[in-house]
């Protein structure tokens, strides 16, 4: 209970002043019913032991297995941030609404009702703890709706995949299915709408109106790159698809990845994020000292496929760090610096709440029905987003006071930085030891100079 009080205490602060051009997301359908015959059934659809563990695929699909094992799909039910948030929700609803969070993270566990009211992660079977495991995708027989685990799972059907003429095997019947090459397969889970109807994540919707969609480029084209090799041991060489599903998250659980795998994944994330945005600065060549400098900052999303950031935008931190240094070397203006805990100086900073009123962030935030910021989607009444749509740019003007600046050439240094989640969230959830391991990536940099006379 003390934990809960602490959380609430931190939520009831005033709105974040730094978000540029916040626009509310549209309201979704009314989904207030905690029973959903497809994804949150009242009675088990089947038993979870009808699905096989990824371990059974490993012998013949060693590369797919090795890549999947290091992916966030394999981490979906282990993720301590997920577990901690589910536990807060269990307390808030007395266990009544637990199936909501697990319907995508483990459709097998939710639909078999192995996950019931007040469930405990420790009691779940291995295949359920494998989260988005091989058969959670390759037993999908169709998609009924493009949100909230809107796909059909068929434990009796063949193993479906993209190969139209698979080599026969005794291990399973196989069937080519073009669904595996379509973004609707992803959209069934990568579109999250709360019971209230509030959209939480919507990469599929963003994709559907993107330049990539117009060119026929899908989620798979970017997130499952091809390599030449056998799709199964002893099979013919094909263009097979890598299963690491690189996004922006790096697991924080010790032992989930070896240190070497962790380094490799971190490098891949850095590679994915580098070049996703263009940062530019607009300044006059010269300015009379004492006159206000209007510093125009523009950030363009170069990803053709969806917003920057996308997905869990309410946790992601993409922000501008900028300094203006005068000819004498004195910093005259700064924004985007971290406090001693490594947090941005917004309403959630312990040391300097609102210490950075100009903070420019791209992402989203929840407010509850009284207009106060909240971290929990189930307490949110509105979801404000400043994420940047594909191809588009957002511009913000910073006002810099030059009264005390030394005459001569002033330098402006800026960088766009990204972090998957804020340290304060980990501290609130009792995961503080992981806070210092969160990497910060450099997405783009820019510099400029002007003469102050
Ligand atoms: C005894 C070996 C063996 C085991 C075990 C095995 N598979 Fe396969 N699988 C194959 C072979 C062989 C193919 C055909 C490969 C080809 O044609 O290139 C195949 C094909 C596939 C395909 C492609 C189907 C298509 O038409 O696109 C999928 C998906 C698949 N397997 C998933 C799995 C999963 C998931 C498991 C574990 C539950 C598994 N397999 C276990 C041998 C195996
Ligand atoms: C044109 C290439 C491209 C396409 C198409 C694309 N993505 Fe991405 N995706 C990226 C890049 C680059 C990133 C890393 C930057 C970011 O986070 O937005 C990313 C990041 C992500 C992330 C992690 C984002 C986060 O902050 O949590 C998810 C989830 C994701 N994509 C899902 C999808 C889905 C689902 C689709 C299809 C509906 C899709 N992507 C289509 C390139 C693409
Ligand atoms: C999140 C969903 C998802 C998960 C989890 C997943 N796959 Fe796949 N798999 C796909 C998709 C999508 C494709 C086809 C991509 C395309 O054609 O663009 C695919 C393709 C394949 C193929 C056909 C060969 C190829 O690479 O194209 C095999 C075999 C396969 N997967 C095996 C596995 C095994 C084994 C696991 C678990 C270790 C697994 N998959 C986990 C979505 C998934
Ligand atoms: C059965 C539900 C489901 C399906 C289908 C699915 N995903 Fe996911 N995906 C998830 C979940 C849940 C996570 C997050 C796990 C976690 O971090 O706790 C995730 C994570 C990811 C990530 C990593 C994001 C990050 O921040 O690092 C990427 C990228 C991704 N998925 C892409 C895809 C693509 C592309 C497809 C379609 C081929 C797909 N997914 C299909 C449920 C699904
Ligand atoms: C409709 C499917 C779906 C539902 C329902 C869902 N998730 Fe997820 N979750 C995802 C997908 C997809 C991702 C990967 C998105 C990304 O990386 O941007 C994800 C990622 C996450 C992550 C890791 C990334 C992050 O935000 O830090 C956490 C934690 C998480 N979900 C918690 C929850 C909680 C708590 C709930 C219930 C309130 C929930 N999820 C409900 C699909 C779902």
Predicted TM-score of the model (pTM): 0.94
Contact 98, 106 (CB under 8 A): no
In terms of DSSP bridges, do strands 293-301 and 277-282 run parallel, antiparallel, or are they unpaired? antiparallel
In DSSP notation, 340-409 reads TTS-BSSTT-SSSTT--TT--EESEEEE-TTS-EES-GGG-SEEEE--B-TT-EEEEEEEE--TTPPSEE
pLDDT in tens, 107-161: 999 999 999 988 999 999 999 999 999 999 999 999 999 999 999 999 999 999 9
Same domain (yes/no): 215, 239: yes
Residue showing tokens 């009242």: 42
Does the residue 10 lie in any domain? Answer: no
Same domain (yes/no): 287, 428: yes
pLDDT band at 8 (very low <50, low <70, confident <90, very high): very low
pLDDT band at 31 (very low <50, low <70, confident <90, very high): low
pLDDT in tens, 372-416: 999 999 999 999 999 999 999 999 999 999 999 999 999 999 999
Out of 265, 280, 315, a domain closes at 265
Same domain (yes/no): 246, 284: no
The pocket around ligand 2, CB under 6 angstroms, is made up of 183, 186-187, 190, 203-204, 207, 212, 217, 219, 221-223, 247-248, 272-273, 276, 303-306, 308-312, 316
Same domain (yes/no): 229, 110: yes
Q: Is the CB of 139 under 6 A from ligand 3?
A: no
pLDDT in tens, 159-169: 999 999 999 99
Q: Is the pLDDT of residue 15 over 70?
A: no
Does the residue 20 lie in any domain? Answer: no
With pLDDT > 70 as the criterion, what percentage of the chain qualifies?
93
Q: Is the pLDDT of residue 29 over 60?
A: no
311 CA → ligand 5 middle, Å: 8
Does the residue 330 lie in any domain? Answer: yes
Any idea what the CATH number is for the domain that residue 283 is in?
A: 2.60.40.10
| Rama region for 216: left / alpha / beta (φ>0; ψ in -120 to 50; rest) | left
149 CA → ligand 4 middle, Å: 12
Mean pLDDT of the chain: 92
State how many domains the chain has.
2
Does the residue 369 lie in any domain? Answer: yes
- Residue-number span of the structural domain to which 433 is assigned: 271-452
Same domain (yes/no): 218, 142: yes
Same domain (yes/no): 257, 276: no
Does the residue 315 lie in any domain? Answer: yes
Q: Is the CB of 443 under 6 A from ligand 1?
A: no
Does the residue 16 lie in any domain? Answer: no
Same domain (yes/no): 343, 254: no
Does the residue 365 lie in any domain? Answer: yes
Strand partners, 160: 175
Residue showing tokens 């006002």: 399
Does the residue 361 lie in any domain? Answer: yes
Same domain (yes/no): 288, 242: no
> Rounded to 5 degrees, what are φ and ψ at 189?
-110, -30
Out of 243, 265, 287, a domain closes at 265
With pLDDT > 90 as the criterion, what percentage of the chain qualifies?
89
Same domain (yes/no): 250, 283: no
Tokens of 71: 């992916």
Same domain (yes/no): 333, 314: yes
pLDDT band at 1 (very low <50, low <70, confident <90, very high): very low
Out of 236, 265, 294, a domain closes at 265
Q: What is the rounded distance in angstroms from the CA atom of residue 295 to the CA atom of residue 279?
A: 13
Same domain (yes/no): 279, 191: no
Same domain (yes/no): 245, 324: no
367 CA → ligand 5 middle, Å: 18
**Per residue in 392-403, is it b (16+ CB within 10 Å) or e — as a string?**
eebebebebebe
Q: Is the pLDDT of residue 10 over 70?
A: no
């Amino acid at each position: 209970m003390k934990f809960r009080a602490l959380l609430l205490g931190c939520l009831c602060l005033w709105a974040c002043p730094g978000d540029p051009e916040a626009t509310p997301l549209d309201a979704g359908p009314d989904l207030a019913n905690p029973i959903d015959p497809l994804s949150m059934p009242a009675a088990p659809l089947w038993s979870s032991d009808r699905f096989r563990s990824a371990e059974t695929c490993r012998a013949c699909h060693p590369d797919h297995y090795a890549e999947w094992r290091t992916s966030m799909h394999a981490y979906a039910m282990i993720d301590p941030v997920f577990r901690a948030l589910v536990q807060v929700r269990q307390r808030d609803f007395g266990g009544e609404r637990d199936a909501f969070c697990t319907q995508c993270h483990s459709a097998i566990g939710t639909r078999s009702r192995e996950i019931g009211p007040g469930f405990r992660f420790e009691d779940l079977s291995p295949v359920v703890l494998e989260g988005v495991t091989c058969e959670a995708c390759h037993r999908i027989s169709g998609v009924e709706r493009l949100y909230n685990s809107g796909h059909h799972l068929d434990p009796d059907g063949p193993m479906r995949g993209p190969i139209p003429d698979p080599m026969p095997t005794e291990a399973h019947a196989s069937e080519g299915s073009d669904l595996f090459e379509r973004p609707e397969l992803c959209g069934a889970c990568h579109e999250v709408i709360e019971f209230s109807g509030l959209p939480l994540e919507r990469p599929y919707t963003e994709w559907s109106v993107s330049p990539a969609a117009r060119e026929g480029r899908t989620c798979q084209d970017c997130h499952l790159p091809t390599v030449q090799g056998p799709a199964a041991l002893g099979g013919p060489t094909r263009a097979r698809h890598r299963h690491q599903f690189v996004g922006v998250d790096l697991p924080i659980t010790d032992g989930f990845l070896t240190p070497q795998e962790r380094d490799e994944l971190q490098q891949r994330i850095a590679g994915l994020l580098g070049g996703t945005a263009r940062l530019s600065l607009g300044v006059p060549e010269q300015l009379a000292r004492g006159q206000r400098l209007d510093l125009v900052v523009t950030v363009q999303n170069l990803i053709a496929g969806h917003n920057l950031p996308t997905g869990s935008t309410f946790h992601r931190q993409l922000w501008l760090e900028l300094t203006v240094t005068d000819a004498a070397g004195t910093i005259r203006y700064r924004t985007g610096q971290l406090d001693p805990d490594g947090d941005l100086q917004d309403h959630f900073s312990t040391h300097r709440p609102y210490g950075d009123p100009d903070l420019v962030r791209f992402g989203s935030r929840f407010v509850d029905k009284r207009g106060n910021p909240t971290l929990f989607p189930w307490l949110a009444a509105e979801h404000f987003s400043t994420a940047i749509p594909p191809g588009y740019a957002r511009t913000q003007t910073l006002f810099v006071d030059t009264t005390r600046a030394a005459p001569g050439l002033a330098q402006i240094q800026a960088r766009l930085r990204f972090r998957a989640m804020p340290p304060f969230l980990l501290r609130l959830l009792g995961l503080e030891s992981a806070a210092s391991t969160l990497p910060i990536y450099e997405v783009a940099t820019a510099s400029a100079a002007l003469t102050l006379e």
